[in-house]
C-alpha cells in the first residue's frame, strides 16, 4: 500500500524566513513519481513539481527547491525568503506503477506573516 | 488555455436528495480523475476514466456514488440519496494520458453541503 506522511500540520513564519516542508512516503514499487501541489485560499490545487524515482537530483526553481532522498524515503520542499503570497496548504503526493491515482499526504498549512 | 472547469462551484442540498456534479477537462486530455477533499479524510481518490471507461472504481465510498464520462470529455459524478457525510469539496483533474509521467491538473472544485 502507498502512504504519504506530512508530519507538520501547520507552520508559521515571518516573511523572508526560509521554511522546509517535510514529506515521507512509503511504497514497495521501484518505479514511482512524487509531486508537490499548492492549494491557496482560493482552493484550486496548483501543480508545483513532479519527480520520478530514478532521478535523485535536487531541483531548484526560483525560491523553491526540492530535496529527494530515496535512502530516507523523503521528498522535502524548501521555500527560500518566504513571502506572504506563499501562504497556502501544501500537499505532497505519490503515484506508483500499480495505480494511476495520486495518494496525498494530509497537507501542511503554511502561514507567512509580515 | 482553458483549464479544468467544474460546476456548480457550490451546491447545498437536503439530505436524501440526488446531486450531479460536472467536470469539463482540459481539451485533449484523455484521462480524468475525481477526488474528494473533506476535513476528516483529507484528499482521497474516487474514480478515474481513461477515455469513457473507468478501470478503477475502488475509491467510490458506496453504491450511492456513480460517475460517467461521455465523448471522452465531460464527466458527471452523481450522488444519490445524499447524506451529511457526503459534504466535502469534490475535485476533478485531468491529464494528457494515464500514467505516472503525466501531471494531473485540477479544477476549482465543487463544494457540496448536505443539510
* DSSP of A40-101: -TT---EEEEEEETT----EEETTEEEEEEGGGTEEEEEESS--GGG-EEEEEEEEETT-SS
Assigned C-alpha cell, A9: 500540520
Asked if B108 reaches chain A (Cβ–Cβ under 8 Å), the answer is yes
Asked if A3 reaches chain B (Cβ–Cβ under 8 Å), the answer is no
Cα within 13 Å of Cα(B95), Cβ side: 17
Query: Which of B:52-71 have CB within 8 Å of A?
Result: 56, 59
Confidence of residue B76 (pLDDT cuts 50, 70, 90): very high
Q: Is residue A45 predicted with pLDDT exceeding 80?
A: yes
Cβ–Cβ below 8 Å for A45 and B106: yes
The whole-angstrom distance between B81's CA and the closest CA on chain A is 26
Q: Give the tens place of pLDDT for each residue, A22-39.
A: 999 999 988 899 999 999
Chain A contacts of B48, Cβ < 8 Å?
100-101
Q: Which of B40-49, B52-61, B73-82 has the highest mean pLDDT?
A: B73-82
Q: Give the tens place of pLDDT for each residue, A70-85.
A: 999 999 999 999 999 9
Q: Is B28 helix (H, G, I), strand (E, B) or coil?
A: coil
Mean pLDDT for A87-107 is 88
Amino acid at each position: 500500500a502507498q502512504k504519504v506522511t506530512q508530519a507538520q500540520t501547520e507552520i508559521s513564519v515571518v516573511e523572508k524566513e526560509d521554511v522546509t516542508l517535510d514529506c515521507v512516503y512509503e511504497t514497495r514499487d521501484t518505479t514511482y513519481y512524487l509531486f508537490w501541489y499548492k492549494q491557496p485560499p482560493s482552493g484550486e490545487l496548483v501543480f508545483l513539481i513532479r519527480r520520478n524515482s530514478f532521478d535523485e537530483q535536487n531541483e531548484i526553481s526560483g525560491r523553491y527547491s526540492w530535496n529527494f532522498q530515496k535512502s530516507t524515503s523523503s521528498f522535502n520542499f524548501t521555500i527560500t525568503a518566504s513571502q506572504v503570497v506563499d501562504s497556502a496548504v501544501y500537499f505532497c503526493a505519490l503515484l506508483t506503477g500499480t495505480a494511476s491515482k495520486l495518494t496525498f499526504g494530509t497537507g501542511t498549512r503554511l502561514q507567512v506573516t509580515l | 488555455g482553458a483549464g479544468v472547469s467544474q460546476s456548480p462551484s457550490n451546491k447545498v442540498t437536503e439530505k436524501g436528495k440526488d446531486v450531479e456534479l460536472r467536470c469539463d477537462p482540459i481539451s485533449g486530455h484523455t484521462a480524468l480523475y475525481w477526488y474528494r477533499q473533506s476535513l476528516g479524510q483529507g484528499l482521497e481518490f474516487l474514480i478515474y476514466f481513461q477515455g469513457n471507461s473507468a478501470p478503477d472504481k475502488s475509491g467510490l465510498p458506496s453504491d450511492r456514488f456513480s460517475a460517467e464520462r461521455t465523448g471522452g470529455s465531460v464527466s458527471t459524478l452523481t450522488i444519490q440519496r445524499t447524506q451529511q457525510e457526503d459534504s466535502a469539496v469534490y475535485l476533478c483533474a485531468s491529464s494528457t494520458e494515464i500514467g505516472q509521467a503525466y501531471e494531473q491538473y485540477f479544477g476549482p472544485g465543487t463544494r457540496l453541503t448536505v443539510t
